[in-house]
Structure formats: structure tokens, C-alpha cells
Structure 1
Amino acid sequence: MNLTVYLAGQIHDNWREEVKKLAEEKKLPLTFVSPQTNHDRSDDIGEAILGKQPGNFYRDDAASSVNNFRTQVLMQKSDLVIALFGEEYKQWNTAMDASTAIALGKPTIIIRPEKLIHPLKELSNKANITVESVEQALDVIAYIYE
């Protein structure tokens, strides 16, 4: 049984590649989808499709509409969601995606460092499970196949 996993989280480093590599090493039959990880493409997509916008607010609004559409389609098609909260980057999109996944009833794994226990306590309480590492998240998924 192949599962599709939506990888929610910041797009500024290669954490998704780490997830994919570990899943491959564990021989887990997973397909991964995610937000647009090309930051420039994500920022420019509204104008690329809808044309030049009259200011930064409208430019961001247009891009957000297209990105939210993409996220909704991919998340609804996913079997489960991994939302990674890292230590370095702002996590607003991760929180939004995790909340959306939970509201959709998607099985959700949150990965967060110990220092984020308090600020993420309500979100962690709503998720199916909260772990501290990518390895732990994949061990949870591996358990499905036992």
C-alpha cells in the first residue's frame, strides 16, 4: 500500500530531502508532495498567471491565492501530513498547513524541537502525534506497515 504524504513546513532548507532519503532507506512505500519549494516561483506565481499587480499587497494576495489552491488540492489528495516546525525560520505557513490538515481530518504528525513545546501546545494536542525528529516521524509511519 502506497501512501501519499504532504510535507508541510518552511522551504528554506533541504529537510524534505532528509525525509525522502530516510523513507527510502526504510523501504517505505511513500509518495511525497509539498508546497512549492522554489521560493521565487512561489512569490511570483500570482503575477505569472494573473499579470502584473498594482502593488505589493496585490502581488502577495495573487500569489497566495494560487499557492493556497495548490496546497488545498495536494493536501486533500494526501493520506497524511507531516508538519515540521524548525528552530530557524518563521513558522506561520507551517502552522496554517497543520491546522488545515487537522481540520480536514488528515492524520497529522508534527515535528517540533523541545523549545517549541509551549508555543505549539494547542496544535500538538490536536495533531495525532507530536515528535521531535524526522526519524521519529518515519518510525510512526513505518509502524503502519507492521
Structure 2
Amino acid sequence: MKLTVYLAGEIHSSWREEIKQKAAALQLPIDFVGPMENHDRSDYIGEEILGKQPSAIFRDAAASSFNNLRTEVLMQKADLVIALFGEKYKQWNTAMDASAAITLDKPLILIRPESLHHPLKELSRKANVTVETVDQAMKTLAYIFD
């Protein structure tokens, strides 16, 4: 059995690479997908496809349409979603993706530090599993294959 896992969360740190490397080390049969990690491409994809937009608001709206389409297609094809909430970056997209996973009835592993317990308590209760570290998430994934 091979799983496809959507990695939802901020795109500014290397947490996805850490998960991919650990999955490879554990020899887990997983394909990973996720949001566009090239921040500039994500911000300007609307203009790349539709052409120059009249203002930043229109540019953001156009880009959001294409990013939302990409996320929906990849998330619907995923077997499971991991959403990582860190302390350093604003996490609005992570919250949106985690909520989308729940709405799509996708199994959800939520990674959040203890310091974010209170602000994420409702979302944590909707997730299938909530853990505090990437290592705990990896143990959760490995358990699926035991």
C-alpha cells in the first residue's frame, strides 16, 4: 500500500524536507504533495496566467483562485493531511487547509507546539490526531503501516 500525504502549513521553513527525509529513512511508501513552495510564484501565478492585474488586490485575488484550485485538486487526491502549526509564522493558510481537510473528510494529523494548545483547541478536537512534534507525526504515519 502506498499513501499520498498532503503537507499543509507555512512555506518558509524546511519542515517538509524534514518529514520527507524521515519518511525515506523509515522506508515508508508515501508520496508527498502540498502547496506551491515558491512564494513568488504563488503570489504572482494569477498574473503569470492572466496577465498584469490593475492592483495588488486584484493580483492577490487572481493568485488565490489558482492556488485554491491547486490545493483542492491535490488535497482531494491525498489519503491523509498533515497540518503543521509553528510559532514563528502567521498560520492562516494552515488553518484554512486543516479545515478543508476536515470538510473533505480527509484524515488529519495536526502538529502544533504545546504553546498553541489553547488557540487551536477546537481544531485539535476535529483532527484525527494532534501531536507536538514532527517525530511524533512520523511515528503516527509509521503506525499506519505496522
- The answer to whether structure 1 residue 35 and structure 2 residue 35 are counterparts is yes
Q: What's the CA shift string for 1:37-91, capped at 9, x where partnerless? A: 0000000100000111111110000000000000000000000000000010000
Runs (4+) off by over 6 Å: none
Matches of 2:34 and 2:135, distance apart in 1: 18
- The answer to whether structure 1 residue 128 and structure 2 residue 135 are counterparts is no
Deviation for aligned residue 1:138:
1.2
TM-score, normalised to structure 1's length? 0.99
Structure 2 unaligned regions, length at least 5: none
Q: How many residues of Structure 1 are paired with residues of Structure 2 in the alignment? A: 146
Residues 2-81 of structure 1 aligned to structure 2 (within 5 Å): 2-81=2-81
Matches of 1:16 and 1:103, distance apart in 2: 23
Give the corresponding residue for 1:117: 117
Sequence identity (%): 69
Matches of 2:27 and 2:54, distance apart in 1: 49
Partner SS for 1:46: helix
Partner SS for 2:130: strand
TM-score, normalised to structure 2's length? 0.99
